[in-house]
Amino acid sequence: MIRVLLAEDQGMMRGALALLLGMEADIEVVAQVGAGDEIVAAALTARPDVALLDIELPGRSGLEAAAELRAECPDCRVLILTTFGRPGYLRRAMEAGAAGFLVKDGPVEELAEAVRRVLRGETVVDPALAAAALGAGPNPLTPREAEALRAAVDGATVADIAAALHLSESTVRNYLSAAIGKTGTRNRTEAAREARRQGWL
Amino acid sequence: MIRVLLAEDQGMMRGALALLLGMEADIEVVAQVGAGDEIVAAALTARPDVALLDIELPGRSGLEAAAELRAECPDCRVLILTTFGRPGYLRRAMEAGAAGFLVKDGPVEELAEAVRRVLRGETVVDPALAAAALGAGPNPLTPREAEALRAAVDGATVADIAAALHLSESTVRNYLSAAIGKTGTRNRTEAAREARRQGWL
DNA sequence: CCACCCCCATGACATTTGTCCTGGCCAGGA
DNA sequence: TCCTGGCCAGGACAAATGTCATGGGGGTGG
């Protein structure tokens, strides 16, 4: 019996996946969580063989949780399941020690099969996506540039961002300008879009 | 046997929902589509009793498709199933003649039950959401203001928007300024965010 | 040790953005 | 009929944004 932990914020999706996996003869869903900061605790008590993690979760990102799981629960394999096949997400997932990376497109049958394969020690990644991730270089943004860009997405002004990051306004403008240059865009909004598309944020 | 049409762009979600609904003794999924512009054609051949529509679809919005379904397939009830419980979405869904409005949070059990209820002629809406939709007034943006705002979301400059809408730059700035004022925000990015949150875009 | 990169900051500058006022055109309602 | 409101446009102005040059401090690798 393969013990699976399921982390997914959308209730209906989570319930549907749990039911589907539960119908498989060799799979058992032993824990379900809807927030990223509940993953590690749930894994420590439920002791799953495979953790099926969404990336975009309230509380903590599935990627951060994956890294922590590697440390706290070394014999639990991580399978990332996400809406967005962003190259940077795949890269970060692999760096975090994930054993597989699935996008929510594609048929449901893939899912149970992927669970079994990661448990056998295989690495499950869509080949086309892997190529894209390798093709696009690594994240060129420095940590601070990425932070400034993140803070800018919802329309915050330079003053807002400076206050949030405890920086001077000049520094913020420099970071944003650098990010705009590195993304090859024309303003912070385009830069944020592109960075998000690449999975750099 | 209740005949259901399922329109949802995410493959895994679509497959999972189809399997779940298919497991109900009295429900049969007679058509599945992944794009908004396939809905009406599929409904005309499959003749469903209930159409379960996502809003954000490639090709055509589920709301537009709903309105068209009312005309082409008057005896087919529409049940909207969406990620976002935006007040404006609910309002537009009702104006489009939908019989129900579900958000993708909440348990899966709701789904089959909602299908049965709309078929019985009931209107299925989360009461809290209904209150929010009534509380917030209707969309204050004029069609052109909304268009300008839509065109601005991905970081387009005033010149870009003017070219796209065949307007002068002055006019575009006026529209954006009006939208900023009506949303009570400080710049176009915040305005676009707020308008989207309300379901006005 | 030096080169390099990240971090942080300043000031000057051009461009873009947002605001306000004015005005004309046209439709629908009082 | 007049009034209102949407649509479109121009100009003028203040504020925000983006660019660039410059400089100091710190860490890391050759």
The nucleotide minimizing the C1' distance to residue B157's CA is C16
Q: How far is CA A102 from the centre of its chain?
A: 11
- Measured over all CA atoms, what is the biggest interatomic distance in chain B, rounded to whole angstroms? 61
**Closest CA of chain B from A11, distance in Å:** 4
Do the Cβ atoms of A149 and A195 come closer than 8 Å? yes
Instruction: Please tell me the least confidently modeled range out of A101-110, A111-120, B94-103, B124-133.
Output: B124-133
Smallest Cα distance from A16 to chain B, Å? 6
CATH architecture of B2-135: 3-Layer(aba) Sandwich (3.40)
B173 touches strand D (CB under 7 A): yes
Q: Do B11 and A157 touch (CB under 8 A)?
A: no
* Every domain of chain A and the residues it spans: 2-135, 143-198
User: Smallest Cβ distance to A108: which of B16, B106, B191?
Assistant: B16
CA–CA gap between residue B82 and residue B105 (Å, rounded): 9
Q: Give the integer Cα–Cα distance in Å for B155 and A156.
A: 14
**CATH assignment of A143-198?**
1.10.10.10
Given an 8 Å threshold on Cβ–Cβ distance, is A155 in contact with B17?
Answer: no
B104: nearest CA in chain A? A12
The answer to whether the CB atoms of B13 and A104 lie below 8 A apart is yes
Let me know the angle formed at the C-alpha of A138 by A98 and A149, rounded to the nearest 5 degrees. 100
**Inter-chain CB proximity A155 and B193 less than 8 Å:** yes
Q: Does A107 touch chain B (CB under 8 A)?
A: yes
Q: Is the pLDDT of residue A136 over 80?
A: no
pLDDT at residue B196, rounded to an integer: 93
* Plot region of B121 (φ>0 → left; ψ -120 to 50 → alpha; else → beta): left
- The answer, for B35 touching chain A at a CB cutoff of 8 Å, is no
Shortest CA to C1' contact from B170: nucleotide: D9
Q: What average pLDDT score do residues A90-101 get?
A: 90
Is the pLDDT score of B135 beyond 80? no
Asked if B22 has any chain A CB less than 8 Å from its own CB, the reply is no
Q: Out of B104, B188, B191, name the one closest to residue A11 (CB).
A: B104
Round and report the angstrom distance from CA (B135) to C1' (C21). 34
From CA A42, how far away is CA A68, in angstroms rounded? 13
pLDDT tens sequence across B156-177? 999 999 999 999 999 999 999 9
- Percentage of residues in chain A having pLDDT higher than 70: 99
Query: Minimal Cα distance from B102: which residue of A?
Result: A12
Phi, psi of A101 (to 5 degrees): -145, 110
> Which percentage of chain B shows pLDDT scores above 90?
78
**Average confidence score pLDDT of chain A:** 92
Q: Searching chain B, which residue's CA lies closest to the CA of residue A17?
A: B16
